[in-house]
Structure 1
């Protein structure tokens, strides 16, 4: 048998050649038991190393992996802990009340849509102009104060906080303009000119420069740091200018609306004529409304977007591009649009209306779908003012009430320092307010400041 194996011919191809095959050896190889070599005598070093690594890592030096017996239960402390599946949180539904959160009953508020008698400063103090006094309400500590400057100057026509809230600009029916210090109630500066028309609107360009719009259509810039306070004159309106506001995003651009149904866009950086170095012309004139235009406001997130609403014969809210003067959209609000206010954080717009519903309407921009309606006034809502903290809007109406409406959750009010707390205690001692069963806060001033 061994001699036959030694005479076997090797070929480079697997072609069966029966005459050269050793059939006895083939049968033995096929039917014989197959036993692995465990002693490593005929295995290569790499195979031995692989087998050792397999035993250490996979088999754990065990003779077998599977066993026909039941393993003991593991204790509960050693069981693997799996986190519960993350469930999507339910989106909190926005709650917009249909009624105001607080109602201030203020006697002496004039029913005139061209006046500007409501302003909420960055110091979180709401100022309301009455016939011959200014009512101040500190929203942070809910204290009250009444400023009554000088008598026999006519009713108050406009009030406006300075950007730093150091002074409150107050305009009177006899054409006088006073800058009043809130803490002391004293007049720190102002103008007295009987030859001028009464002031209807005010807008601060900075802490020292004030833009004044008068009943005869004149618009003038004044700098109270100079002896000659007159800076420049804006020529465009033919009747009373009842709305002024500088753009926060574009420092040199501002707008004006008037009783002549016109809206003007001005650029303070435009060059002026040599013949009239202090007279400026409008950049764009918008004459699409058919009634008085007082409800005008800049979009807080888009520097070139302006929204304004028409009066009792118009009922429209229009949106304009202030760069090219193009009308972007126009909707019918259904009633007189007395005031208009953009939300500072969302793409929403709040409008106040007159008859028949005298309501506030919250719009979603740019779809202009109605988000909510808020009632609570029995007469047309003349003015709107937003809280500097956001979320709360104050509205003043001809029914001699001022409502506070929570449109969204306001930010937490900043804590007052000790000096402000002591000043607040003094202010609260000078005025009082009572809450009756109807939920209205009645202002009962017990003093007046000179």
Structure 2
């Protein structure tokens, strides 16, 4: 009790002293009076106006006006201070010219202006910017890419019987016209197969004691040239199924044929190449002598300026139409050269393939006579076909692979290798739309492969149709020339047409269809 009373007395004494000191300060004219007047409590007037009915003594109001630990402030100075702070902050911001300069420098240096200097992880996506609809959207572009992706089937689209096919590497017994008619020579007969209808008909039969050695369509598809083992060459009208003329004079088998407008070139077993003008009676207009072996490969360039020939003497000759001597000769092959192919999009590019002892495909620049490249296929090369749809080249092979191989050009990468037949592939031909390839082998099977199918059937298909029509129109006129200048005896022959289902037809020995 004594301790509590003594502390209370001390507090009362201290309070009286503080009140006495405050009254003395108010009565004295010192600078502190002005300061106290300036820094008086801003809530003092507000409290006085709103304290109705409450009376207080001067000493109580004066005691509520001050505090030892909270200084008094003038409201005007607070407002001016806030304005000064805002002005100083705005002075620190850069003007537009400086920002533009900094952004240009950062862009040139590859630095992001809104990124930190040290960043070890990428910033997490913010919920405001994340589009949750992306989760439910269908990705159409990858699907379209997959649909446009090319597929090469390893199985044939169709298989037909080809009984009686002569197993001879040096012959050329199959060709496909621009009218979509496939011609094939089987032993002593020539058959025509119309791809659009599936109709098969026997066109002609070789004379007694002879066999078919080569067939070749004219550029416009109106006429089919047929050579026999006795050296004769027959020309047949495919629309009327009649023989137009027979050209004689060769003393040995004609193994290869090639058309150049009204000029038909023939390669013989004795190594000679003849040019026949089908418009006149004396059809032989030139003889090219350079090969010493069977001329088994013969092909004119599309513009008709150059002729390429390959023979059993392992030579490749390039002939100019204006000369009877070779423009140049190549001896790089070590076996017979039967496979010859001119590039359709680059006229001076020629590909040649060698036989069993060679197995190589060589590429030549016929302008500079230089060898551009070569491929070791590891197998006998029997034919070559270029694909202008995909800028590729297809090769067919004999022993030991009996396959079809597609190579990209100019990289020469192997795209696909298809085991095609049970025995060596002897002949191949491509459809007029450049999408389907027909192959026939000594296993007596004729197979159709969809190797160069055009995925986008819009502009490309119209382009292909235009190419076919241009070929037919540019070569028009052979029919009238042949009709007005026939001097040889014309033989006509009736032919039997056979209608069978497309999926089950084949070529019979006597003109009948073979059901498989």
| Alignment TM-score, normalising by the size of structure 2 | 0.62
Alignment CA distance shift 1:428-1:140 (3 Å)? farther
SS of 1:443's partner is: coil
Alignment CA distance shift 1:372-1:169 (3 Å)? same
Per-residue deviation at 1:154? 0.5
CA deviation map 1:144-166 (0-9, x unaligned): 11123353150100000111222
Alignment CA distance shift 1:321-1:109 (3 Å)? same
Which of the residues 217, 231, 235 maps onto 1:161?
Answer: 217
SS of 1:283's partner is: strand
Residue 457 of structure 2 corresponds to none
1:201 matches 2:256: yes
Residue 321 of structure 2 corresponds to 268
Alignment CA distance shift 1:104-1:362 (3 Å)? same
1:177 matches 2:177: no
Per-residue deviation at 1:363? 0.7
Alignment CA distance shift 1:199-1:338 (3 Å)? same
Distance 1:293 1:433 in 2: 38
Which of the residues 283, 293, 304 maps onto 1:239?
Answer: 293
Which of the residues 434, 437, 448 maps onto 1:393?
Answer: 437
Choose between structure 1 and 2: higher helix proportion. Answer: 2
Alignment CA distance shift 1:321-1:146 (3 Å)? same
Which of the residues 349, 365, 373 maps onto 2:393?
Answer: 349
Per-residue deviation at 1:212? 1.0
Residue 369 of structure 1 corresponds to 413
Distance 1:441 1:185 in 2: 21
Choose between structure 1 and 2: higher strand proportion. Answer: 1
Decide whether the 8 Å contact of 1:305 with 1:319 is kept in 2.
yes
Distance 2:294 2:278 in 1: 23
Which of the residues 306, 317, 329 maps onto 2:373?
Answer: 329
Distance 2:330 2:360 in 1: 14
Q: Which runs of 5+ in 1 are unaligned?
A: 1-30, 32-83, 271-279, 415-426
Decide whether the 8 Å contact of 2:424 with 2:442 is kept in 1.
yes
Alignment CA distance shift 1:441-1:358 (3 Å)? farther
Alignment CA distance shift 1:115-1:446 (3 Å)? closer
Distance 2:506 2:218 in 1: 28
Distance 1:405 1:303 in 2: 26
CA deviation map 1:108-144 (0-9, x unaligned): 1111010000100111001111111111111111111
Per-residue deviation at 1:428? 11
Residue 447 of structure 2 corresponds to 403
Decide whether the 8 Å contact of 1:125 with 1:139 is kept in 2.
yes
Alignment CA distance shift 1:355-1:433 (3 Å)? farther
1:186 matches 2:242: yes
Alignment CA distance shift 1:327-1:186 (3 Å)? same
Q: Which runs of 5+ in 2 are unaligned?
A: 1-79, 81-136, 455-460, 466-493
Corresponding pairs, count? 341
Decide whether the 8 Å contact of 1:434 with 1:442 is kept in 2.
no
Per-residue deviation at 1:253? 1.0
SS of 1:90's partner is: helix
Decide whether the 8 Å contact of 1:99 with 1:375 is kept in 2.
no
Alignment CA distance shift 1:151-1:233 (3 Å)? closer
Q: CA RMSD in A?
A: 2.5
Structure of greater Rg = 2
1:320 matches 2:364: yes
Alignment CA distance shift 1:132-1:320 (3 Å)? same
Distance 2:288 2:496 in 1: 45
| Alignment TM-score, normalising by the size of structure 1 | 0.71
Distance 1:406 1:184 in 2: 31
Decide whether the 8 Å contact of 2:198 with 2:501 is kept in 1.
no
